[in-house]
Amino acid sequence: MNDKINEMLQRSAQNANQSEKSFIRPEDEEREVIAPDGSTIKINPIYDYFSGKKPQEEKPLNGVVEKFLNWARAESIWVLGFGTGCGSIEIPPLMTPRFDAYRFGVQMRATPRQSNAFIISGYLSVKTLKRVIRSYEQMPSPKYVLALGSCTINGGMYYDSYSTINRLDKYIPVDVYIAGCMPRPEALLAGFMKLKELIKEGKAEKANEYARNFDEYKANQKKIIKDWNMPDYNW
């Protein structure tokens, strides 16, 4: 029996120094592969598979055209279907007869490629933040973020939780905060109206701001997401 005990002890000692080990899964570590003609190829799963370029600012065009395009962007906001936290149950009612966001050109889209608005609806655990960042970065340039609920503003009731973030705008730029410990759909519609105004006034250029101080955002993100097995900017 005693060899079982000290074997257990030895195991627990080895686990103790867990903090230094990297969290990258074996699949994502560098590996060697034999090519058909026998030569070996070194594969770096991050730099070989992803374009990994830094985002750059995309300046808006001059006056009238940009105003007109902003008008079009305001009138047709396509929201990415990505629900986090308890607020995502507030979004479906928008599609029902009672609230009917279609009237305002708001539509749900399945892929980040085709969507312009990203609704962060509630507390954001570190795990979800990692996926939110990838989806946000994959959205094309004029993109807006609506943050619902107090959890995205100051951590809400999970302010002291070890796994949820307190201030969303430290990690991704936010256009419109909609306060409430889950705002009702009407509040959400009001948020959309606010967003429309911002877009029409051309003040919804958070995407460029994200590109400008990208490193700072990325540093914050990487501080809390330890197993960052993705490229810096997810195209």
Residues 171-230 that bind another protein (CB under 8 A): 220, 223-227, 229-230
Alpha carbons 169 and 177: distance in angstroms, whole number: 10
What minimum distance in Å lies between the beta carbon of 206 and another protein? 13
Q: How far is the CB of 138 from another protein (least distance, A)?
A: 6
CB of 103 to another protein, least distance (A): 5
How big is the CA angle at 208 (ends 206 and 212), to the nearest 5 degrees? 115
Q: Where are the alpha helices (DSSP H) in 53-184?
A: 63-75, 126-138, 149-154
Contact with another protein (CB under 8 A) among 2, 18, 62, 64? 18
Mark residues 153-172: x for contact with another protein by CB under 8 A, - for none.
Answer: xxx---xxxxxxxxx--x--
- Candidates 224, 214, 147, 134; CA nearest to 187 is 147
Contact call for residue 132 and another protein (CB under 8 A): yes
Asked if residues 228 and 22 have their Cβ atoms less than 8 Å apart, the reply is no
Q: Which of 130, 148, 173, 192: binder of another protein (CB under 8 A)?
A: 130
Of 66-125, binders to another protein (CB under 8 A) are 69, 72-73, 75-76, 78, 82, 96-97, 100, 102-103, 105, 110-114, 116
Cβ at position 45, least distance to another protein in Å? 7
Q: Nearest approach, Cβ of 185 to another protein (angstroms)?
A: 14
Nearest distance, CB of residue 76 and another protein, angstroms: 5
Q: Is 162 exposed, middle or buried (0-12, 13-18, 19+ CB in 10 A)?
A: exposed
Binds another protein (CB under 8 A): choice among 30, 89, 131, 201: 131
175, 199 contact by CB (below 8 A): no
Please identify which residue in 92, 140, 179, 213 interacts with another protein, judged by CB under 8 A: 140
Residues between 29 and 48 that touch another protein (CB under 8 A): 31, 33-37, 39, 41, 43, 45, 48
Among 86, 141, 185, 232, binds another protein (CB under 8 A): 141
